[in-house]
Amino acid sequence: MEQVVAEEELTLVTRKPYFDLPTACPLCLPVFIYLKLAHFPFRLDFNSIFPDSDQIPYVESGAYVAHNNENGGVIECLKQDGIVDLDSEFQSVPDWISTKAMISSWLADAIMYELWVGSDGRSACKIYYSDLPWPIGKVLFLKQVYIVKQRLGITKDNAKQREDEIYKRAKIAYGALSTRLGEQNFLFDDRPSSLDAAFLGHALVTLHALPETSVLRSKLLEHDNIVRCAEKLQMELIESGSSSSGPQFRSVPSSSAPRKGASNWSSKPRSKPKREKTEEEKIFKRRAKYFLAAQLVAVLLFLSVMGGNDSAGLELDDDVMLMLMRALLLIETISLLPTDLGPHY
Amino acid sequence: MSNPDPKPDPEPQKTFNTNDIDEEGDEGEDENENDLKDDEDQDDDVFGEPNRPKPKTREAQYRLDKLKMDSLLQRMQSGPVSVRVHDVIIKGNTKTKDYIIEAETEELKSVGSMQELLKASQLVNLRLQALEVFDSVKITLDSGPPELPGTANVIIEVVETASPLSGQIGAYTKAEARSSTVEGSLKYKNLLGHGDLWDGSLAYGYDHSAELSTGVYLPRLKGLVTPVTARAYLMSQDWLKFSSYKERSLGLSLGLFSSTYHDVAYNLAWRTLTDPSQMSSRSVRRQLGHNLLSSLKYTFKFDRRNSSMRPTRGYAFVSTTQVGGIAPDSRSLRFLRQEFDLRFAVPLGFYGAALNFGISGGVVFPWGNGFLNKPSSLPERFFLGGNISPVCALGGPTALWGFKTRGMGPTEPKRQVNDENADPSGVDFLGGDLAVTALADLSFDIPFRWFREKGIHAHVFACAGNVAKLTENEYRNFSVQKFVESQRSSVGVGLVVPTSLFRMELNYCYILKKFDHDRAKTGVWLTFTGAS
């Protein structure tokens, strides 16, 4: 399997990007993050016409395919097939199983509830049905709402009770995970694992995809360290793009404001062009100031030289004119020089 | 022009018994009373006047009527007997609306002679029976009102069907289907009195398809020229073995216009492609999901062959154009599909021999933004192969003798798993955007009387065909020479057994050319083809 994967690039097929996320589906985003944390090169591809498939996300490389509904999921398949394994050292950690159970049950139920039942469903429609014609999308949405209610055991009689229970469990889970995370970047030994991918994937979808009125979102926002970690991850791993050479992970101060704009996760990094643009603008402004100042100086110089003579009959010597012109050119050239090279002169 | 007959007709009137066209003579009413009116000076009339005293015996009446009829027939043979229709009287319809029957009798109003009237009456009779809502149709020609000479009344007596519910089983090849099907259906006739035919049917096709559908046929929806058909269906097709996907469609098809040569239909369907086996190749995986199909299909069919089961003379041409994406929603499936089929049958004049040859081709392409980079929809592509006879399958490139269902064309490796039970061939047949087939078939009678009586005959055949991909920029690599060089071909000989439901062929096929992954074999093949 490793040989097969090495020969052909791995492709991760997920649901489409939305809400500034490479994929807004809470099942797909953890896989994306997992591969990013492992610095494993992969391509990102999308399937936006099969929202009710339990096979998505899946990875493929040549004839090798690992579906979401097989052998515990894509991440488990990647571990079992020896392709990517971030958890080899954590299996014996006492809290590993309980943390995993909490994330894969309580938080998974919470996000599922909030997307399909708790909120008005608009987020779910955008994530799953925006590329399907309206009649099909509408029917599939209603079908999925019914399935989710069945899965979560929600009936007309116990709807409020179940909702309270789900939110309560989510709150407990957030508290426990926030405590475990502390000031670290990752949950266990400050090293990335599949649980970090699952948890941070959940956090990013909750923060970005759910509406501001979402109860679950408000509960997550109470834990600053989780929010900070998620935002940091979004900047570092996600906005660097899913290029074949994965970017190096490093600690960078997070930005509190979520970034907006169209997502194009397949190729171009987003943060670097923005920084260069800002510096370019500064340089341009500085040069413009120097140029204007040089122009003013040249004009004043010219006028002062001209003004000191009799305007009626005096003609400037050609050599003098030439010197003035050269002086003007020199001043303007100096003003247009890159200022960051200034100290080296 | 009326020709007054000077001679008396001693024989009684004779009824016209041509497909239930009767003449009422019992009450002494005359068929050609206008002739009598024109001939007022004549005492001896062909058909008795109302004031004429009735013959006393039945035998005498019969002889009189017969004389009159013979005289009329004589006159009709010598030239047109002028008559026009004054009124069409409809009797017997308690449930069926009058306008349904009246719409089928338009021809009667424009007749100008007795000959035309008889012909038109026959046609009307056939049309009314074709509605399938009457057990019997009887048309009687009667004289018009005395004050209007040269006129006749047409009396149409219908007997509405006593048992509106009927069932049937048959084998068909529908224009929109890709193969023949065995179908069982229940029909309910004339539920609303508009000549409507409701049916529910269950069909199983040779291409591993199953369909449950219900439909309605309205022969004469008010204001419309042609019949309207509407059909709601739930169809599933299992292509797991060949292409690792299943297709399920829930749709509605409307027959908008149908005439002898032209057919326009609209289809709206929700189609889903799934892969429960999770073994599909990459190209198939990319197409799994839901699609909205909204398409308009135009079929031009011109079939002048003497038989579709065993054509020995004539020619046929079929062209089908389908445009998908006829919807305001740009997310519906957009494609253009064109196929044609040209056939010739030439009799050779010995042992009932005939040479059939034909060529068929088709192309499909997506349209819309970025169409050059998009793949065509998998179910819309052309797949060659199957257990149907190319001679009978009229309507685009479908089958080649000796090649299994979807047994040739572009392939892609399936998913690789460590499973001993996995399919060793491990490829999905993806079909093509361009397909061309050609066939030549020489059929002849077997020189034994028993075979000839049963219609069993033999044939020798040869065929060739190929499919190619054009989409996703593959058209840049396409060349006609390469396409021709990579075509598959086969020859063979066989026995043809035509039945009332289908045409069965028992053939020995020899594969002349095939490629590595093609599913074709030299050997004995059995094919079943319904009538097209």
A136-153 pLDDT tens trace: 999 999 999 999 999 999
Q: Which of B270, B289, B331 sits opposite A50 (nearest CB)?
A: B289
Under 8 Å between Cβ of A233 and A200: yes
Chain B touched by A140 (CB under 8 Å):
yes
Nearest CB to B416 within list A50, A51, A64: A64
Residue B165 pairs in a beta bridge with B188
In angstroms, rounded to a whole number, what is the distance separating the alpha carbons of residues B426 and B448? Answer: 48
Question: How deeply is B60 buried, as exposed, middle or buried, from its count of CB atoms within 10 A (0-12, 13-18, 19+)?
Answer: middle
What pLDDT score was predicted for residue A76?
A: 93
- Would an 8 Å CB–CB cutoff place B285 in contact with chain A? yes
CA-nearest residue of chain A to B277? A55
Would you say residue B17 has pLDDT above 60?
Answer: no
The dihedrals phi and psi of B482, each to the nearest 5 degrees, come to -65, -40
* B290 touching chain A per CB within 8 A: yes
Domains B78-160 and B169-530 agree in fold: no
Name the band, by pLDDT with cuts 50, 70 and 90, for residue B128. Answer: confident
**Shortest CA distance to B119 belongs to which of B195, B151, B110?**
B110
Strands across the sheet containing A64-67:
A42-46, A10-14, A58-61, A64-67
Residue B309 is predicted with a pLDDT of 83
Distance CA A149, CA A157 (A): 12
Contact check, Cβ <8 Å, B416/A4:
yes
Let me know if residue A97 belongs to a domain: no
Residue A314: CA atoms inside 13 Å, Cβ hemisphere, count? 11
Q: Give the model's confidence band at B121: pLDDT under 50 very low, under 70 low, under 90 confident, else very high.
A: confident
The answer to whether the Cβ–Cβ distance between A70 and B288 falls below 8 Å is no
Q: What pLDDT does residue A17 have?
A: 92
With CB atoms and an 8 Å threshold, state whether B289 touches A134.
no
Q: Please tell me the distance from the alpha carbon of residue A9 to that of residue A244, in angstroms, as a whole number.
A: 8
Give the residue extent of every domain in chain B: 78-160, 169-530
Question: How confident is the model over B340-359, as a mean pLDDT?
Answer: 92
Q: Is B289–A67 a contact, with Cβ atoms under 8 angstroms apart? A: no
B221-268: pLDDT as tens digits: 666 667 788 888 898 998 998 999 999 999 999 988 888 899 999 999
Token pair of B248 as six digits: 């399920």
Strands B151-160 and B84-91, how do they pair?
Answer: parallel
Nearest chain B CA: its distance from A45 CA (Å): 10
The 10s digit of each residue's pLDDT in A254-266 is 333 333 333 332 2
Q: How confident is the model at residue A90 (pLDDT cuts 50, 70, 90)?
A: confident
- Whether residue A264 is contained in a domain is answered as no
Q: Are B5 and B57 in contact, with CB atoms under 8 Å apart?
A: no
A305 falls within a domain: yes
Task: Identify the CATH assignment for B169-530 out of 3.40.50.700, 2.40.30.170, 3.30.1390.20, 2.40.160.50.
Answer: 2.40.160.50
Q: Is residue A7 less than 8 Å (CB to CB) from chain B?
A: no
Please check whether residue A129 touches B, CB under 8 A: no
Can you give the pLDDT at residue B509?
A: 94
Contacts of A132 in chain B (CB under 8 A): 290, 292, 331
Separation CA B467–CA A331 (nearest Å): 72
| CB spacing of B289 vs A60 below 8 angstroms | no
Q: Who's near B36: CB < 8 A, 6+ residues apart?
A: B30, B42, B45, B46, B47, B49
Handedness of CA B475, B480, B482, B486 (dihedral sign): positive
- What is the average pLDDT across B346-374? 91
Distance CA B76, CA A265 (A): 88
Q: Are B172 and B528 in contact (CB under 8 A)?
A: no
Is B187:B201 a contact under the CB 8 Å cutoff? no
How close is the nearest chain A Cα to the Cα of B416, in Å? 5
Mean pLDDT of B286-309: 93
Chain A closest-CA separation from residue B427 CA (Å): 11
Alpha carbon distance A20, A43 (integer Å): 18
| Burial class of B166 by CB neighbour count within 10 A (0 to 12, 13 to 18, 19+) | middle
Q: B178: closest CA among B153, B218, B200, B207?
A: B207
Secondary structure letter of residue B395 according to DSSP: S
> What percent of chain B lies above the pLDDT cut of 70?
84
Contact between residue B510 and residue B490 where contact means Cβ atoms under 8 Å apart: yes
State the pLDDT at residue B224.
65
- The pLDDT-based confidence of B43 (bands split at 50, 70, 90) is very low
A68 to chain B: closest CA residue? B278
Q: Say whether pLDDT at A77 is over 60.
A: yes
Contact between A133 and B282 using a beta-carbon 8 Å cutoff: no
Greatest pairwise CA separation for chain A in angstroms: 106
The structure tokens listed for B410 are 């572009």
Judged against a pLDDT cut of 80, whether residue A275 lies above it is answered with no
Q: Which of A13, A51, A63 sits opposite B416 (nearest CB)?
A: A63
pLDDT of residue A333: 57
| CB of A28 closer than 8 Å to CB of A57 | yes
Class of domain B78-160: alpha beta
Measured between CB atoms, which of A47, A65, A132 is closest to B415?
A65
Measured CA to CA, the distance from residue B221 to residue B227 in angstroms comes to 7
pLDDT of residue A254: 31
pLDDT of A210 strictly over 70: yes
Average pLDDT (B148-177) is 75
- List the domain range (segments joined by +) for residue A288: 279-335
Q: What is the CA radius of gyration of chain A?
A: 29
Give the pLDDT of residue A285: 73
Average pLDDT over chain B reads 82
pLDDT band at B352 (very low <50, low <70, confident <90, very high): confident
Phi, psi of A188 (to 5 degrees): -120, 120
Is A183 contained in some domain?
Answer: no
Can you give the pLDDT at residue B365?
A: 94
Assess whether pLDDT exceeds 70 at residue A38: yes
Closest CA relative to residue B432, chosen from B373, B502, B376: B376
Per the structure, the count of domains in chain A is 1
Q: How close B413 comes to chain A (CA, Å)?
A: 7
Judge whether residue A273 has pLDDT over 50. no
Which letter does DSSP use for residue B405 in this model? T
Q: Is A78 on the interface with B (CB under 8 A)?
A: no
Question: Is the minimum CB–CB distance between A55 and chain B shorter than 8 Å?
Answer: yes
Question: Using one digit for the tens of pLDDT, what is the confidence trace for B203-231?
Answer: 887 666 788 888 888 776 666 667 788 88
Query: Is A3 an 8 Å CB contact of chain B?
Result: no
B350, B490 in Cβ contact below 8 A? no
Which of A4, A51, A133 lies nearest to residue B332, judging by beta carbons?
A133
Contact of A60 with chain B, judged by CB distance below 8 Å, is answered with: yes
ipTM of the modeled complex: 0.72
- Choice between B32 and B483, residue whose per-residue pLDDT is larger: B483
